[in-house]
Structure 1
Amino acid sequence: MSNDAQPFVAILMGSDSDLPVVQGALDVLADLEVACEVKILSAHRTPDATREYVKEAEARGCAVFIAAAGMAAHLAGAVAAHTVKPVIGIPVDAGPLQGFDALLSTVQMPPGVPVATMAVGKAGARNAGHLAAQILALADGELAERVARERRRSAEAVAAKDRALAERPARGSSGSE
């Protein structure tokens, strides 16, 4: 990696059908102004291309990999086998087991080849984006401030919803107590 390469996040998905889930990670990274790129690669159908992409992305400055896959969901593990960069796995809720199979495939990694596994589905994808940004923020003070600002905005939104709820009359309340 050259010294002037900007660190980025590489997002891999096993199929284009995973894009509606992965979109959450893309949205978070865009909101936080984190550079990323997206690829469709398969641990089973394109193992050589997956390995080659991981090595090539590392050489260009990839600092974090996010891998999303459903069912057998070996993509995150395959990526982790070829890099020492952080790998974040998103189990996709596809197939008859609604993502439980993907969760187990993603989380059950052998010692020394970790994958940081998120929740199944869209919430997990958003958290994958947040975690990737936090990892990059370790070496980027401006990004750390953007992450902190986003956390404050989120807390303010919850507080506003609580205030709005408190202003509504309780259901079933006659108000004549």
Structure 2
Amino acid sequence: MPKVAVIMGSKSDFPIVEETIKTLKEFDVEVEARVMSAHRTPDISAKFAVDAKEEGFEVIIAAAGKAAHLPGVLAAYTTLPVIGLPIKSSMLDGLDSLLSMVQMPSGVPVATVAINGSKNAALLAIQILSIKYPHLSDRLNSYKREMAEGVFSQDDELQVEVSKL
């Protein structure tokens, strides 16, 4: 079974990260969620990243706000894909978090989704996992077909409304 670690810099990030966890579980991906800090528990964060592959994780999603160094610290200690999920903070509307994640130095990549883009963080992890787990690819194709059907339905509704004008 595919396994993803979802790491938060603070439990206050959970309301945003909750959608990540729900989406992963909807696709039957095993999830372990943890709180650790790049600044307050750097040794624990580093050890987690070093041991992650051995613990069966295949992707790490790291959510953080403000300075948002957590994804980069984890990426520095592992070869697993790390997806950064910038959390909107009261300062700079999360732009500080986003820039901290996307401006990683050469050699330490962090894939980064939109500010508060928790669903996309999960879907990106699932896409990465689908290379190894074909059933996830099938489920993603179904998911995308359902999204397209929703657009077609909205288009049909719009055409009815426009014809009444």
Structure 2: any 5+ residue segments left out of the alignment?
none
How many equivalent pairs are there?
Answer: 165
CA distance in 2, matches of 1:86, 1:116: 8
Per the alignment, residue 154 of structure 1 pairs with 147
Identity %: 45
**Pairwise mapping of residues 4-153 of structure 1 onto structure 2 (< 5 A)?**
6-121=1-116, 124-153=117-146
Asked if 1:167 corresponds to 2:163, the answer is: no
Per the alignment, residue 3 of structure 1 pairs with none
* Code of the aligned partner of 2:23: V
CA distance in 2, matches of 1:107, 1:23: 22
Q: Could you say what secondary structure the match of 2:101 adopts?
A: helix
* C-alpha displacement of 1:61: 1.1
Structure 1: any 5+ residue segments left out of the alignment?
1-5
* Code of the aligned partner of 2:68: A
CA distance in 1, matches of 2:11, 2:155: 38
CA distance in 2, matches of 1:31, 1:20: 17
Could you say what the CA RMSD is over the residues aligned between the two structures, in angstroms? Answer: 1.3
**Bigger Rg over Cα:** 1
Q: Deviations over 1:28-50 (max 9, x none)?
A: 21221111110001000011111
TM-score by length of 2: 0.95
Q: Deviations over 1:29-83 (max 9, x none)?
A: 1221111110001000011111122233321210100000000000000000010
TM-score by length of 1: 0.89
* Code of the aligned partner of 1:9: V
